[in-house]
Amino acid sequence: MADINISSLADRTAASHADPRTDSAEPMWDIIELLFFAYRDFVSDPDDVLAKFGFGRAHHRVLHFVNRHPGMMVADLLDVLKITKQSLGRVLKQLIDQGYVEQKEGENDRRQRLLFVTPKGEQLAMKLAGLQTERIARAFADLGPQAHDAARRFLVAMIDAEGRDGVQKFIARADRARRPRT
Amino acid sequence: MADINISSLADRTAASHADPRTDSAEPMWDIIELLFFAYRDFVSDPDDVLAKFGFGRAHHRVLHFVNRHPGMMVADLLDVLKITKQSLGRVLKQLIDQGYVEQKEGENDRRQRLLFVTPKGEQLAMKLAGLQTERIARAFADLGPQAHDAARRFLVAMIDAEGRDGVQKFIARADRARRPRT
DNA sequence: CGAAATATGTCAACATGGCTGACATAAATA
DNA sequence: TATTTATGTCAGCCATGTTGACATATTTCG
């Protein structure tokens, strides 16, 4: 996946409608495009595996977050994914029916359906996370020891300012959640 | 867009099916999730604008690459986007019909339909790139002067090894293409 | 207690943007 | 001339997003 093959995209620049400074400064084309290509490759690894299970990216996202945050409420998941409950319902139902995710009644609030991955679900989730981790680890290996920190800070800074703290807490909390003993 | 609101996703970690080391090492959860959140916010800015024009992300990608690479062949675009010509045809036709993109016969090869943005198309493309650039610039401003380079190297390293060179050449060539005079 | 709010699920319909397969046309090339 | 290439187009399918309406159980509040 994802070689570029621009073949002979050479010098057909003849009739370009270039009009510099339609906006203020020059756009950061490099980062804009690298984000596109990097993200596309990043999600392609899981996509290939998921296809064999008859799942798509939507299933991946649900499985990922439930695995990362066992005991998540449906409402929490909707908040994180920012999709409608109808969209979520469709893929969640499939994951439950096929035994990758299960629901348990909340102990305090019996309206809640707390979500957990089954062992089968965890196995798939970890497989997918492993693929993505391999790619990231390869990248960091190429770049030196400070790369992890630099990447983390870059990505955090790219998140909407209002959401930043929430995301970081969310990640930190999940780290605790998945390792009650250690 | 994109605040997280995990509400009270607190300590419902009771019945976690944790089984460490289904794979070898621990996944890099932080980068995996930060990429998800960062990319989601990154594309949300253009999405809002595009919606007002009745366009979607697919139109954005086409407009972006045609703007960046005036004179691109249809086949080049298919290679970059990695979608089928039928999928491309749909959105491309809309962009042409509504006057954002135009086609010209290739001079050497009259089968080719070389793609160009119209002034109207360029204006929209630059508007969208401007939004994304603002976000990136804000991030770099938070992080110091080496941040641009660090981010670029991280993203390049995340691209499939085979595609890496092609992408970098593609970006470099586009930089030349849009500024024949300077 | 009873009313209202909350958490969830479900039905139906629709839009977007991927996909496959088949086929058509014009132009270049062997 | 025959074939290959670049492009377009028709028809239909699938995944995943949307809105709106409504149902159910449970909790919470006045």
Mind listing the pLDDT tens digit for each residue in A153-169?
999 999 999 989 999 99
B98 CA to D11 C1' distance (Å): 25
- Cα distances from A76 to residues A4, A52, A83, B65, B170, in angstroms, run 38, 28, 11, 37, 41
| Closest residue in chain B to residue A28, using alpha carbons only | B133
Radius of gyration over every alpha carbon of chain B, rounded to an integer in angstroms: 20
Cβ pair B154:A139 closer than 8 A: yes
Radius of gyration over every alpha carbon of chain A, rounded to an integer in angstroms: 20
B180 CA to D15 C1' distance (Å): 43
Distance CA B166, CA B162 (A): 8
Q: Say how far residue B162 (Cα) sits from the centre of its chain.
A: 19
Q: Summarize the confidence of residues A7-23 as an average pLDDT.
A: 34
Residue B17: its H or E element? none
Q: Which nucleotide is nearest to A72 (CA to C1')?
A: C7
**Does the structure show a pLDDT above 80 at B19?**
no
Contact list in A for residue B172 (CB cut-off 8 A) is none
- Cα distances from B111 to residues A147, B49, B72, B114, in angstroms, run 47, 35, 13, 9
Out of B76, B104, B147, closest to residue A9 by CB: B76
**Terminal alpha carbon distance of chain A:** 38
Q: Summarize the confidence of residues B158-165 as an average pLDDT.
A: 93
Beta bridge partners of A102: A116
Structural domains of chain A, ranges and CATH numbers in brackets: 47-177 (1.10.10.10)
> Phi and psi (nearest 5°) for B104?
-130, 145
**Does the structure show a pLDDT above 50 at A95?**
yes
> Phi and psi (nearest 5°) for B129?
-65, -35
B128 contacts B64 by C-beta, under 8 angstroms: yes
Q: Summarize the confidence of residues B144-172 as an average pLDDT.
A: 94
Residue that wins the pLDDT comparison between A23 and B79: B79
